[in-house]
Structures are given as structure tokens and as C-alpha cells.
Amino acid sequence: MEDGELPLTERVVNISRVSKVVKGGRHLSFNAVVVVGDEQSRVGIGMGKADAVPDAVRKGGAAARKNLITVPLKGSTIPHDVLSKFGGASVMLKPASPGTGVIAGSSVRAVVELAGVKDILTKVRRSSNPVNVVKAAFAGLAELRDPEVEFAKRKKVAEMSAARDQASKRSS
């Protein structure tokens, strides 16, 4: 671990028993959806599959650590509304005033709490499949942008294009 980095908390969202029919009968294995986060704006999700539950959870945690993202926070909430989709699931994330708490179902709650969001309103529409709901919530958090940073980027691009236009006018 790097200096100043908080340890990651791991939360198992869903464990599914899946079977495959083979010549000798049914072969059982387990799928685990795992969310990891430091509760300070970093979060990741992963899926693991193995013949035993602990192995599936371990693999899911390792996969989640590999795809961590940093979520821009505005105080204890998110900077703006976002609607994201994954598969059949659609997840709406809305900023909330301080003291509201996390208003979310269990799958979305795991993702936003481990991302460090303290106040948020969420709604899951269409599919309630935990795998797709977690992936949609993760995609929604990945879409978030800090408005001040985006305004600065756009202002810089606008200034560069204005300077280019003036230079082209002078040369012609």
C-alpha cells in the first residue's frame, strides 16, 4: 500500500449457485459479485467464479481491486444527477442535501457507500438483477464529472480556438 492510502473494504453483493450439465451429472459452481472501496471516493467492482464460495469471493475481490475508479464528490454527495444503464437495469443517482443519508437498495447501497457518498437518492428501474444493477451504478459513478474542472477545460479549449482564429486572420 502507498503512503496515506486507506485499506479497501470488501463487500459481497450477490452469490449465485450455477450448474452446468456434464456427462457425469451436474457440475455446481458459484458466482460472486464483490464491491471494494476505501469510503473516500475510490470504488471498484468485480466478479469471481469458482467451485467454492470463498474462492469465488477472493477472485471477485481481486478483480474489483484491478478496476478501481475515483468518484468526484461534492461534500458528502455527488456533483450532479446521472442516469446509467447496463443490460436491462437502469439506475438513477441524484445528489441529496446533507443529512439525507443513502436512500438506495442493497446493490446500489454497497457501491455508493464504499465510494464514500454519504447523502444520495437512487432509484433502480426495469431489471433488478443484482449483477446488472451493480454494474449500472458503477457506470453511473464513472460518468460523474466535477463541474468546475469541466468548465476550466472548456474555457481553455475555447481560448485556444479563439487564439487560432486570430492567428489565421492575421496571416490571411
**Domain spans of the chain, in order of start:** 9-146
> Given this model, what pLDDT does residue 61 score?
96
Domain 9-146 sits in CATH at 3.30.230.10
pTM higher than 0.85: yes
Residue ranges of the chain whose pLDDT lies below 50 = 1, 3
> Given this model, what pLDDT does residue 5 score?
61
Helix (H) or strand (E) holding 138, with range, is helix 130-143
Cα–Cα distance list, 156 to 25, 72, 162 (Å): 64, 21, 10
> Given this model, what pLDDT does residue 150 score?
86
112 closest CA partner among 34, 15, 103: 103
How far apart CA 63 and CA 33 sit, in angstroms, is 10
| Strands of 69-70's sheet in order across | 9-22, 25-37, 42-50, 69-70
